[in-house]
Amino acid sequence: MIKGYSLFVICMLLLGTGISITMPYLSLYFTEGIGMSAGAFGVFMAVSSLSGVVVNSLIAKRSDRGMDRKLIILFAIISSAWICLVFSVS
């Protein structure tokens, strides 16, 4: 078994739970609260997903060049927790 893998799995489980709670409310907030059209929200989500792929590719290139992967994972987990906190507050 990989050392520290169980902690990583727990973090991913919590992240998935946070996303599943906030995502339905995000679409409601954008369409009803801000008044964005459904099409514009779809474009926003598509751009968000595509930018995630691009950023992940850039991070993977850096990681393959010898950057410490533990720091990358720690930064990603902290960033995800921060975003879920911001969504829950706003």
pTM of the model: 0.62
Q: Cβ neighbours of residue 27 under 8 Å, at least 6 residues apart? A: 41
Report whether 72 contacts 63 (CB < 8 A).
yes
Q: Tell me: the pLDDT tens digits for 49-83?
A: 899 899 888 888 888 888 777 888 788 878 878 87
Question: Could you read off the pLDDT of 9-30 as tens digits, one per residue?
Answer: 887 888 788 788 878 888 888 8
